[in-house]
Structure 1
């Protein structure tokens, strides 16, 4: 099991241990397990190139999720545009960190089977994101000795 945070032309703070524990906990609550989860934080231009090359979309996006998961075993590459996160944080009157967590969990939720192609599905996805953000905010560090599911961080 591996969770990685990769930075392409950008660098900012992520509370790695807590974020890792949070992602594992969300998967655990959804009856899934992380095999390999790679987050890549990049620029608008980087993600535009991927969006064009792999999806034939000629527009910027905040996130691209390449999901290779099978049988509740999560394997994915999640690309996040730091430029979009900054702009959206300002637009939606959020902090950078809050918008970042929302987009990170949005990508993970896609690997867990959540969709957002209709108004109803978008509403369900947003509710799940809100629940996951609340979970993060209420998490206290759990020691490896007292919580076996965290031994994978």
Structure 2
């Protein structure tokens, strides 16, 4: 089950559309949907998690904790709404497009995609683009 949690004033306009879309991504990748929690928060909230759990003293748009078991995906995806907003402006895309990219990015990590090397980043971006084109 995909759930949405809010540690900020931001709220998704239509949770069901996002939930169905992410479920379809998971199924298309050959995985089973377990419990996936999206937590929307502020820069400060996510920065604290980044420092406390990953020892990274930087701002980021997303941190995902993967608790998957075999082919059943489970995890917590923390998304800074502040970062998504700033990145959307920087990349000259809509907030909704950037938010969708970050949301699918988190679940693609659970499917085994990485983004540490240039080659991995290209594949991740290609998968993001593929699934963004299928979003309602």
Alpha-carbon distance in structure 2 between the residues aligned to 1:111 and 1:120: 18
What's the CA shift for 1:12?
Answer: 3.1
Partner of 1:43: 42
More deviation, 80-89/3-12? 3-12
Secondary structure of the structure 1 residue equivalent to 2:26: helix
Partner of 1:124: 123
Greater Rg over alpha carbons, structure: 1
- Give the structure-2-normalised TM-score: 0.97
Does structure 1 residue 10 correspond to structure 2 residue 9? yes
The alignment's C-alpha RMSD in Å is 0.9
- Name stretches of at least 5 consecutive residues in structure 1 with no aligned partner: 138-153
Decide whether the 8 Å contact of 1:10 with 1:82 is kept in 2: no
Decide whether the 8 Å contact of 2:10 with 2:81 is kept in 1: no
Alpha-carbon distance in structure 1 between the residues aligned to 2:85 and 2:27: 30
Alignment deviations for residues 51-81 of structure 1 (CA, whole Å, 9 cap, x no partner): 0000000000000000010211000000000
Partner of 2:59: 60
Regions of 4+ moved over 3 Å: none
- Name stretches of at least 5 consecutive residues in structure 2 with no aligned partner: none
Aligned length: 136
